[in-house]
Amino acid sequence: MARLGVKRERHLIEPGLYTMGKPTKESPVFVSANYTLSFDALRSALHGNDCYILVLDTKGINVWCAAGKKTFGTNELVYRIEVVGLNDVVNHRTLIVPQLGATGVDAREVRARSGFKVEFGPVRAADLPEYLKTHQATREMRRVRFTLSDRIVLIPVEMKNFLIPVLIASVILALVGNYTAAAAAMAAAFTGLVLFPIFLQWIPTTDFSIKGFLIGGVTAIPFAQNAFYGMTNETMWVRYGWALAYMLVIPSISAFLALNFTGSSTFTSVTGVKREIFLYMPKIAWMFGIGIILIIVLIAMKLLEGI
Amino acid sequence: MFNSYLSNTLEYYPELCINCGMCSTVCPHGVFGPDGKVAQLVNPKACMECGACQLNCPTKAIKVESGVGCASAMMLAAVKGQKEVTCGCDGSCS
Ligand code: SF4
Ligand code: SF4
* CA–CA–CA angle A190, A267, A62 (5° rounding): 85
Would the CB atoms of B4 and A260 count as touching at under 8 Å? no
> Do A230 and A116 reside in the same domain of the chain?
no
Residues A140 and A171 in one domain: no
- Residue A2 in domain: no
Q: What is the DSSP string of A173-208?
A: HHHTT-HHHHHHHHHHHHIIIIIHHHHGGGSSSS-H
In terms of domains, do A290 and A191 share one? Answer: yes
CATH at A97: 3.40.50.11600
Per-residue pLDDT of chain A (307 residues; tens, 9 = 90+): 455 544 445 578 899 999 999 999 999 999 999 999 899 999 999 999 999 999 999 999 889 889 988 899 999 999 999 999 999 999 999 999 999 999 999 999 999 999 999 999 999 999 999 999 999 999 999 999 899 988 998 898 888 888 899 999 999 999 887 889 999 999 999 999 999 999 999 999 999 999 999 999 999 999 999 998 988 888 889 999 999 999 999 999 999 999 999 888 888 888 899 899 989 999 999 999 999 999 999 999 888 887 6
Domain final residue, candidates A144, A163, A195: A144
Distance from CA of A243 to the nearest CA of B (A): 26
Model ipTM over 0.95: no
List the 192-211 stretch of A: residues with Cβ below 8 A of B.
205-208, 210
Q: Tell me how far apart the alpha carbons of residues B13 and B34 are, in angstroms, rounded to a whole number.
A: 15
Do the Cβ atoms of A270 and B29 come within 8 Å? no
* pLDDT attached to residue A69: 87
Question: Per-residue b/e over A222-241, b at no fewer than 16 CB within 10 Å?
Answer: ebbebbbeeeeebeeebbeb
Q: Best mutation site among B25, B48, B57 for ligand 2, i.e. most ligand atoms within 8 A of its Cβ? A: B48
Task: Please report residues of A whose CB lies closer than 8 A to that of B51.
Answer: 103
A3, part of any domain: no
Considering the domain architecture, whether residues A268 and A134 belong to the same structural domain is answered as no
Are A259 and A281 in contact, with CB atoms under 8 Å apart? Answer: yes
Across the interface, whether the CB atoms of A123 and B85 are under 8 A apart is answered no
Residues A197 and A128 in one domain: no
- Domain span at residue A75? 8-144
**Eight-class DSSP state of A116:** P
A13 with A31, same domain? yes
Q: Which residue is closest in CA terms to ligand 2's atom 7? A: B27
Number of compact structural domains in chain A: 2
